[in-house]
Structure 1
Amino acid sequence: MSDTSKDILVSFRNVQKSYDGESLIVKSLNLDIRRGEFLTLLGPSGSGKTTSLMMLAGFETPTAGEIRLGEKTLNNVPPHKRNIGMVFQNYALFPHLTVGENLAFPLKVRKLDAATVDEKVKKALAMVQLEKFANRYPAQMSGGQQQRVALARALVFEPQLVLMDEPLGALDKQLREHMQMEIKHIHEKLGVTVVYVTHDQSEALTMSDRVAVFNNGDIQQIDGPRALYEAPTSSFVANFIGENNRLSGVLQSVDGSSCQVRLTHGEVVHANKINVGDVGQPVSISIRPERIMFNADSETCANRFNGRICEFIYLGDHVRIRMEVCGEPDFIVKMPIAQLDDNLKVGDIVPIGWSVEHARALDPL
């Protein structure tokens, strides 16, 4: 076995899943999950991400293909024999057991002696800062505390793999953001492999080493958070991850790694050639709102157009300016509040621009 394959903990090989024998929820999934990484499966509802996680957990059986954990094929191994930790959105704690008893349960199932169980439970409670809560029942705790208990229970038996299915979905925004960092730090400390499912793109970008973006049962792109945001390889990923301006046109010419696209109203945009067909075919251009320059700052940009200000949307530390640009009525420019010219007003026509490297020519949506 090569050194590279030793780094792979989980492999999906040509995995398919159908519930009715006709339509595939997961089409032909090939995915390697590295030891110790935090991998997030991200996508809209019905994209196949949760089904893929449930097949790995053993709660769903693949229609075709193979799932391996280390050297072992998992297809016919029942969930309780996979030695995988699970954290769900609804916590799934035993209401009639105390916190300590909830944590002890997976250890007793594995027939560990009482002293070892006690030691591991204390260690797990300390890890999630709930040492004083061992004798409380789940109903006596807040949602955030219950989710911490669920996390501790998934980690208490030291599994090599932990699966998390929308674990923070029931929490309010502030607590959710706090728990994101907490889970991330616990992962860094323990070095356990985590596979995390969410439809929340900011959560995926915040927590993950890599993100697999699902759509219609396929992985569209798998990459680190920054690469996914800055270098999407398809229009779907560009639009699903973060905020994105999209301009539609036709490929006019190609020059090495760049190209020229003629927009619907005749303007020509110079862009990075990423994922396009032949000259004459439709193209979608992706530009992130924070990459757009205003007024004098736009003078050196290869792409420079006039835009009409339609609306200011204040968001505390920054402002989103909705503009009409190149016939697109919902073109967004994102600007730090400190850089905003207070003289600008709705109806003003101002020059804006962006560089070639920040315009990505992609497949038409």
Structure 2
Amino acid sequence: MGISTPASDTLVSFRGVQKSYDGESLIVKHLDLDIRRGEFLTMLGPSGSGKTTCLMMLAGFETPTHGEIRLDGQLLNNVPPHKRNIGMVFQNYALFPHMTVAENLAYPLTIRKMNKSEIAERVKKALGMVKLDALAHRYPGQMSGGQQQRVALARALVFEPQLVLMDEPLGALDKQLREHMQLEIKHIHENLGITVVYVTHDQGEALTMSDRVAVFKDGVIQQIDAANVLYEAPVNSFVANFIGENNTLHGEVVDVAGQHCAVRLASGEVVKASAICVGRNGEPTSMSIRPERVRLNQLAEACENRLKAKLAEFIYFGDHVRLRLDVAGQSGFMVKVPVGELDSSWKTGDMLDVGWMARDIRALDSAIVSH
């Protein structure tokens, strides 16, 4: 699956790209992908899905077994990494420990043979961008992980590349710092208008930062879309389960009419759903519904689908509570309830009415996916 954009709008294009390390199994299978000028594109997927291999082929550290990669129209296949004018940020920072921060930033400019005054000016500007002006003369070993990551980011931007690649750059940071850096990287991207290709297995990070997200599985892009589209309209059960929290109900298709279908659950109830990728009558399907789309008790009365559920567990999250329910003979069905809407009389073992609209439940392929 690929997305085509007008040539002038495209900075990077993969065409028919394959990668195999042993000549037999393909880590990347026939990838067609256009990356737009100025966009923040995230490659997201589990370990071994091919996302990092794609990034490494773009950087020049790996060579495609088959197909073409172009940057601004130029074929990259045989261009060495240092001649690609691409900035790179790695998870392990890859800073030179014997150089100060300023020397680390000057290094890519020195090898591009810039003059001293321009180097000094660019280093100053890059340090200002990541708010490290005061630390120019420190060595990496004297800095925290978050500060080192900022230096690595500044070094990738200092020579003003048209493309910056980031491979799990925040993976080593603690949660609070990681969330802070996500916003900072996003703001730098917006201010500079550069193109960023970002690799992560953290779906929250992908949703927060990206213009578009490409979800990889087994060397194939399953879906590429804006974050809200991936979340609200996954095209298959893998994407539904990989992006955000998801409830899955299994059943068999009993009727398909236009954009809707009716699905019979194992317990006998019939649910009306949006028909996204369903087969003929009698075929199995997995239906996906987000926890915040489910309504309870009185609120369930206005919904097209209504079922009985048994309350199995309360899980407290501060601003909301998650209820784990048994629905239609399946356990682990989650509903999010804002704290202010929680009924204080509910207790485990209670029977509740649950409901949702047909448009909010998507009948997908029958794959049984575990996280």
* Bin for the TM-score computed over the shorter chain: over 0.9
**2:91 maps to which of 64, 89, 92:** 89
**Equivalent residue for 1:66?**
68
Q: Tell me which amino acid in the other structure corresponds to 1:222.
A: I
Q: Tell me which amino acid in the other structure corresponds to 2:156.
A: A
**Equivalent residue for 2:355?**
353
Q: Distance in 1 between matches of 2:318 and 2:267?
A: 35
Q: Distance in 1 between matches of 2:20 and 2:265?
A: 41
In the TM superposition, what whole-angstrom CA distance separates every residue of 1:49-81 from its partner, at most 9, and x where no partner exists? 000000000000000000000110000000000
Matches within 5 A, 1:1-365: 4-365=6-367
Contact conserved, 2:68 with 2:77, CA < 8 A, in 1?
A: yes
Q: Distance in 2 between matches of 1:183 and 1:100?
A: 20
SS in structure 2 opposite 1:299?
helix
CA RMSD between the two structures: 0.9
Q: Distance in 1 between matches of 2:179 and 2:242?
A: 20
Give structure 2 stretches of 5+ with no counterpart: none
SS in structure 1 opposite 2:6?
helix
* TM-score of the pair, normalised by structure 2: 0.97
Measure how far apart 1:131 and its partner are: 0.3
Q: Distance in 1 between matches of 2:298 and 2:93?
A: 54
Percent identity between the aligned chains? 70
Q: Tell me which amino acid in the other structure corresponds to 1:233.
A: V
Q: Tell me which amino acid in the other structure corresponds to 2:94.
A: A
SS in structure 1 opposite 2:54?
helix
SS in structure 2 opposite 1:308?
strand
Measure how far apart 1:4 and its partner are: 1.8
Q: Tell me which amino acid in the other structure corresponds to 2:242.
A: F
Measure how far apart 1:95 and its partner are: 0.1
Q: Distance in 2 between matches of 1:201 and 1:52?
A: 18
Q: Distance in 2 between matches of 1:179 and 1:62?
A: 32
Contact conserved, 2:250 with 2:286, CA < 8 A, in 1?
A: yes
Distance of aligned partners of 1:130 and 1:289 in 2 relative to their CA distance in 1, 3 Å threshold: same
Measure how far apart 1:215 and its partner are: 0.2
Contact conserved, 2:5 with 2:34, CA < 8 A, in 1?
A: no
In the TM superposition, what whole-angstrom CA distance separates every residue of 1:32-56 from its partner, at most 9, and x where no partner exists? 0000000000000000000000000
Measure how far apart 1:278 and its partner are: 1.4
Count of aligned pairs between the two proteins: 364
In the TM superposition, what whole-angstrom CA distance separates every residue of 1:218-245 from its partner, at most 9, and x where no partner exists? 0000000000000000000000000000
Measure how far apart 1:3 and its partner are: 8.8
Q: Distance in 1 between matches of 2:209 and 2:105?
A: 25
Distance of aligned partners of 1:3 and 1:29 in 2 relative to their CA distance in 1, 3 Å threshold: closer
Measure how far apart 1:188 and its partner are: 0.2
Q: Tell me which amino acid in the other structure corresponds to 1:36.
A: G
Q: Tell me which amino acid in the other structure corresponds to 1:166.
A: E
Q: Distance in 2 between matches of 1:361 and 1:68?
A: 38
In the TM superposition, what whole-angstrom CA distance separates every residue of 1:300-341 from its partner, at most 9, and x where no partner exists? 111101100000000111111000001111100011111111
In the TM superposition, what whole-angstrom CA distance separates every residue of 1:99-123 from its partner, at most 9, and x where no partner exists? 0000000000000000000000000
